[in-house]
Structures are given as C-alpha cells and as structure tokens.
Chains A and B, each alone.
Chain A
C-alpha cells in the first residue's frame, strides 16, 4: 500500500539485475515476509533498512539460498530462477557477508578465504603458497596488513569483518549482500570499506547494503528500500529522501502509543544497580559501569541496537557472568551470592532472549517446563507432589491463557507465543520481585505480542518491577514508564514516558558509534 514510486519502478526495472517479486516467507507461528518486492539495481548500492524483525535478514537469506521462500519469484537478468542453496546463489554471482561472523576461528586467514574453493595441485593437495600470495594482495587492496597465516581467532572483530569482506571479494561476485558490515568496524575501517564499495560499483558489482546506521546509509546508498513488519514500506532513490522520511517509513503511521489503561503509580525503589561492569575479551567493556534503579510497579524499557550490551546487562543481573562486577541492591540490601540459584531466590528472574536455546527444555512437557525453576515449592517430604505441581501449572495456564490441550503436552508442539507464555509462567512460579525480560516478543505473532504486553502491564500493576529489553522502538515506547538507551555498553540516554520520542531514542542509540570515540578506542587496541 505504501509503494509510492510504483510507476517509477516499472521504468527502471530494466536496470534491475535481480528482483524479488511478491516474496512470502512463513515460519511456524509467524509470517516473516508478506508479498515483498525488492529490486537490486546494476552497479548501485541498494540499501535495505527496517526495524529488527521487519524481515531484512529473512529476505537476504532467501536471496543467498539459505532459506527458500514460501511463495514468490526471484528474477536474475530477466529470467526467473530458483535459488535453492548457497551453491545456487554462488552460480548466479550472489555473495553474502553475514552479520554474525561466519569464519572458522581455528583456521588461518587464507584458509578461510579459500574455504571449499581451495587452489589445488594436480595431486589434490592445497597450494598454500599461491593462496597466501593471493590473500596478501587482496588484503593490501583493503589496506589491511594482516598476515594471511594469522589464525582468525587472533584477529580483532573489526579485522575479522574485513576478512569476511575479502572472502566475498575473492569469489568474483556480481551481487554482494552486506548485512550490517560496519557494526564492528572503527571509523577508519568504515572509510576503507566505503572506498572499496565505490571501487566495486565502478567494476559493475551491485551491492545490497543493510544497516541500522541511517546517516551512513544516506552517505553510501543509491537506492533505498524500507521494510516494516514483513511488508514493503517504501522504495526510492536515495537523493530524494531525508533521514526523517526514512524513520517515518520504518516506524509507520500507526499510533506510536496505545495507552494500556494502567495506573502509573509506583511503589518504593526495589532494585538498584550500581556500577555494573562486564569486561570484554581482549579489552574494553561489554557492560560499562551501568547504574540505574527501578521501582515497584514500574516498567523500565531498555532500548539499544545489536551489540549495545543490553542482553549482557540482564545476564549480569541474573548471575550468568561470575566475572561481572558491580553492586546489586534489592530493597536496599545488597544481593549476596553470585550464582543464578541465589539470584532467583533473592527475587530476580530472567526471561531469556533466545527461547529455544535458553528458555525451554525441549524434551519436557509444558508442566515440567513451568515448574522447573520452583521445584522446591511442590515437595512433600522428599518427593514432588504431582497434585501441587499440576495445580500451579493449571492456574498459570488459565491466567496466562496458554493454548494447550493439557499440561502434559510436549512444549515443542506449541506456537512461539504460547512457548513464551510457558517461559513467563516458569518465571512467575519463582515468585519474583523483579522480572528481567529480554526481547519478550521476539519471533511471536502480533496477537501473541499484545497478550504478552497485557501480561506485563498486569504484573506491573501487581507491584512487580519489570525490566524489559527490546530492539523494537514502538514496543519500548508503548510499554515503558521510563526508558534507558544503551550504546556500546553505556547508558546514553534516559527518558520519561512523557518525553520519549522515536527520534530521541534512535539518536541516543547511535551515540558512541561516531568517529571520535570509536576511532580512539581502536587506535588504543591496535
């Protein structure tokens, strides 16, 4: 509906080296992409932006052959093609640099670059010397004097990113997908990357560029496509757009705040965190001297981009990182004990970001998952009382409106939203005072999101303190009484419900990404 430039697109379609048409992708429980069109213009930087969960990564995985679309067509050079594997994608000249580094840390730089495409002698052995010479040339072009024989595990993250880029360049790609390529780069490295991008453009390579950093996008991009909630929100040549326009398209026109009818009356301060610090391997801090407090009945939202340290902050609070330092005060009394069990007993409970890897025990039933963190409450002598367990489980299934056929149903057979409710139920059965919710609505459908939000409001109303982390602006704005913004491990903004705006949050989340501070940091570690 928001495709304003539809007519323009038809005209320029001849230039599109690749176009994805009416792509739909369905995952169990969610629709990640809903009839999305996306064009990649020849020799241009085609920017793709959208909030987390808008479907950017899914779309890229489809282009790279990692995932297959549920419906829709891919057209390369005017021909409809099927890209069923990364191998197919390589055949059409599509290369991808993933956001999560995709290198083998146990192998050296040149072995990584030639992975699965080794130069071999006629005896089938690897021509190490030739590979290393090639790698050295490539890295020289990227102005990175890295020895090709260095193990990737010995490189800084920024250097690893450069190796990723070198790897893609070595493959002679026609279309290069860069998913957040600058998230780990210093200012100098970014300028080198931009120079390389210009070089590639003049060599006729088309680039798909995904980034959260909107200023950067305006600088490097030629065309921009905005996705929102799995839909195409807009497409336009970059010279016709402005930063506010992009933000508006990303966020949409829907009301930014639906008041939830909650009385915003807070009790006394429950949790106070002072100087929470988690050092990073190889220098610096993942969580950098964070201090804040939260009152009973308050929902405190923490917003930040990927890698801002939000998840790690919650992990420090629940005791997952014994090496973290800092003070935690619950009801003005310091929390003693570093173990998760002790923190849970003190009244903290985490609802982890990754439901599958950290939230659920897949081999167990709904009931057993729910009671897992509070088993001592159902003891009768030494034995678990089935009756007590079931009573509590059934009460929560009812209160949280979990859709199950029975408490014994395997937890893996539930939808994402209902699985999340099981994790919430497990947390509530520990009778927490402070609930730490890390991306509680990740990967669940819209209706289930609303239900989770309602549960959060009601819990706050009952006097719980809810600390809630999200990368989705609207969620944070809608749910929070107060918002903290994190960037690079530090708090870079604090807003009351009344004064928070999307623009302010986005701005604060980009602080410390600027050249001044990052450049300085990097020179120090170099």
Chain B
C-alpha cells in the first residue's frame, strides 16, 4: 500500500510537542519572491512615492509634526470606517449605510448632551454622563448594523439594497431628531455633570490626538481578529466560497450579521469623533462617507468579490487618500481637480489589481495544462 497507516487520523488534535515546527519559516520563504513581494506591497510603495512627491513639492511645509498630525487625524476617520468596511467586504457584502450612521449617531449624542432624555411618564429629563452617552451612540450604530444584517441574511434582501435603504432611513432619522437643526455647544454643563465630550476629538496623549490613538488601537485589534480568530478566518471563508463555508459548519448568517454590526460600530465611533471635534452635531455629517470607506478598502487591495484582502491594506489605503487629499490642499490644487484625481487613483489601483490577477491565473492554467499533457502522453505513448 502506498499510504502510511492512518492511525492517529481520527483522534482529536494532538498536543504540541516542545520543538517548533520548521514548516512555518520554510513556507514563508517559499512564498516570497521579489515580484510577489513588490505586488503585495504595491499600495505601500504608492504611499511612499506620494509622500516623497509632496515632500519635494512642499519644502518646509510637508514634513512638519503639525502637518503630519493633522493629516493623520484626517486619516483616522477613514481608517476606522475602513476597518469595519473591510470585514463586510471580505465576506462579499457591502455597507452603504455607513455615512448615515455617522450622521445619526452624532445627532443622538448631541441630543442626549444638550436636551437629555425626556421621560414623560415620570415627568423628568435624564442627563447621562458622557461615557454613557458614548456607549448609547455606539449601541445605536451596532443596532443599525444588526438590522442591516437581519434584512440581508433572514429576509434575503441584497446587501446593496438593504444598506441603501438604511442609508435613507438613518439619514432621515438624523434630520427628524432635531427637525433639521444643529445641536451646538456640546461642551455640556457642570450642573448636569455631562461635560468632557469635546475631549474625545481634541484631547491628546503623548502629543497625539485621541482619534489617532483610537485608529492605532483598533487597527491592531482589527488585524488580530481578522488573522488570529476563528471569526476572522470564517469571514474570509464566507467571502471565498459561501457554500463551502456553510458545508464546513460555519454559521454564515450569524457571521454576516456580525460584520454589519462591526461596520455600524465603527461608523458610530466616527460619528462621535466628528461631533466632538466640531463641538456640535450636524444632521448632514458623514454624507458620502460610505464611499470613502469603500474606496479605502479597495485601494488597500481587498476584492469586492470577497475572500481576499487585509485590514492593514485598508489602513494603507486610508493613508493614500489622506496624503493625496492634504497634499493637494497644501499645493492649492482646486477642490474640483482633487475630486477628479482621487477618482482616477481609485480606478487605476483596481485596474492594476485585476490585470495582475488575470496574468497570474493565465500562467497557472498554462502550467497545469502542460503538466497534464506530459503525464497523459507518457503512459499512452505505446498506443
């Protein structure tokens, strides 16, 4: 028999012996060729080139800690949205309601700070502590994500349609909340014990504003969850082949719903950051941010068909958009041109992606056909 005995095969996973397997390093080395390395780092390389370009064009202005911190602060919003959107898109979904959730959660926070929660039954108005308000706003984001997920997985509404509808519903709700008005002066009042909200956007730790810290922390968590947890692995599997994932016992519907809840969570966080930065909540905040989130993810090399991509890529994508945007502003390029250039960059990035993939697939197919012909010809040569 050609096979060794399969004695341990149906035993549960064995405990690790003390020696480390050598397979890992070997496998890493096998995968790395200069060409594929360059390809995998293409977004990063593009980022460095852009950065150097603006350094050259904006001497003395670009590489200054103030400029860089402001730019990174801008990047943080897109990056946070991008983390949520990456999970959704990795699972072959799409979330268009992100921008509206940003607006609605900002308004919820604004209303709770400036008006409190009226409880007519008891004839009282409750003013919450800022931490509680932040928690409530985040919960609203997660809840909208849950509704998106239920619509998509239980009622079988296409993700595009379900979240498009939610885009309108959430934006409308944000406008309804204040009758279209702005909640200004979100500083809170010491009498009510709800001060401190502006700190979220403006406060710093080790010279870096809190939004940047949030980006750093959640990027690390996001990468770990995607790469090192069953949830992350299963999200990749669902995006790669939903049926195979289902037959492997993955609870596809539950996991898909979770991805939309994550997306809602990050949208709410960005909503809070914006309201805090402006010390006011505007019902129009976050308009079209869903498109930024998708652009960031796609620039980072994640496939809209699902299954391929990384959180790290999306963060780099956010930096590409941020560097490009701030650089062009500092160079006094008209905002109209800025928009056009952003669009071109996104299209070019994805077009290059597709081209490269086609080339790889064609090469793989040619290889396997050549192999099959070789093996088939040798035994039948005597015919």
Contacts and interface: CB of A to CB of B under 8 A. Distances in A.
Given A376-B230, A426-B248, A454 B13 contact: no
B278 interface: no
Interface stretch (A190-198, A218-226, A233-241, A455-463): A455-463
Given A399-B8, A431-B12, A384 B2 contact: no
Nearest to A392: B13
Residue from A35, A375, A400, A445 having most chain B Cβ neighbours under 10 A = A375
Nearest to A1: B383
A24 B228 CA distance: 47
B307 interface: yes
Nearest to A380: B228
Contacts of B228: 383-384
Contacts of B224: 383
A357 B12 contact: no
Contacts of A386: 24
A121 interface: no
Interface in A379-413: 379, 382-388, 390-392, 394-396, 398-401, 405-409, 412-413
Interface stretch (A126-134, A328-336, A358-366, A482-490): A358-366
Given A387-B16, A458-B6, A358 B21 contact: no
A372 B6 contact: no
A361 B241 contact: yes
A303 to B, nearest CB: 23
A187 interface: no
Given A26-B376, A390-B24, A454-B3, A357 B241 contact: yes
A429 interface: yes
B10 A428 contact: yes
Nearest to A450: B2
Nearest to A26: B372
Given A30-B372, A401-B3, A340 B247 contact: yes
A206 B375 CA distance: 37
B250 interface: yes
Interface in B11-34: 11-14, 16, 20-21, 23-24, 26-28, 30-31
B63 interface: no
Nearest to A399: B6
Interface in B206-252: 224, 228-230, 233-234, 236-237, 239-241, 243-251
A464 interface: yes
A327 to B, nearest CB: 21
Nearest to A28: B368
Interface stretch (A101-109, A344-352, A470-478): A344-352
A462 B30 contact: no
A203 B9 CA distance: 63
Contacts of B155: none
B4 interface: yes
Contacts of A399: 3-4, 6, 8-9
Nearest to B234: A375
Given A30-B372, A357-B241, A387 B20 contact: yes
Contact of B236 (A360, A363, A387): A363
B10 A462 contact: yes
B254 to A, nearest CB: 10
B23 A390 contact: yes
Contact of A350 (B7, B16, B247): B247
Contacts of B8: 395, 399
B373 interface: yes
B236 A364 contact: yes
Contact of B380 (A34, A450, A464): A34
A464 B9 CA distance: 11
B308 interface: yes
Nearest to B365: A28
A462 B13 contact: no
A459 B247 CA distance: 21
Contacts of A431: 10-12
Interface in B346-368: 364-365, 368
A374 B9 CA distance: 14
Interface in B233-285: 233-234, 236-237, 239-241, 243-251
Interface residues of B, number: 57
Contacts of B251: 339, 341
B243 A398 contact: no
Contacts of A409: 30
A70 interface: yes
Interface string B90-124: 00000000000000000000000000000000000
B25 to A, nearest CB: 10
A372 B249 CA distance: 9
Contact of B308 (A70, A318, A363, A401): A363
B249 A340 contact: yes
A311 to B, nearest CB: 12
A353 B361 CA distance: 24
B37 interface: no
Contact of B23 (A407, A454, A463): A407
B1 interface: yes
B344 interface: no
Contacts of B3: 399-401, 451, 454-455, 458
A275 B158 CA distance: 36
B98 to A, nearest CB: 24
A17 interface: no
A242 B364 CA distance: 47
A290 interface: no
A352 B23 contact: no
Nearest to A429: B13
Contacts of B24: 386, 390
A320 interface: yes
Contacts of A385: 16
A24 B376 CA distance: 10
Contacts of B237: 361, 364, 368, 372
A378 interface: yes
Contacts of A123: none
B43 to A, nearest CB: 19
A427 to B, nearest CB: 9
A157 interface: no
A362 B230 contact: no
Contacts of A360: 241, 244
A384 B229 contact: yes
- Cβ-closest 3 pairs across A and B: A363-B307, A363-B240, A361-B240
Interface of A: 24, 26-31, 34-35, 70, 318, 320, 339-341, 343-345, 350, 352, 357-364, 368, 371-379, 382-388, 390-392, 394-396, 398-401, 405-409, 412-413, 415, 426, 428-432, 445, 450-451, 454-455, 458-459, 462-464
Given A368-B237, A399-B4, 19 more contacts: A26-B376, A28-B368, A31-B372, A340-B247, A341-B251, A368-B236, A375-B233, A391-B16, A391-B21, A392-B13, A398-B4, A399-B3, A401-B2, A401-B4, A408-B27, A412-B364, A429-B13, A430-B249, A459-B6
5 contacts: A28-B371, A31-B380, A382-B229, A394-B21, A409-B30
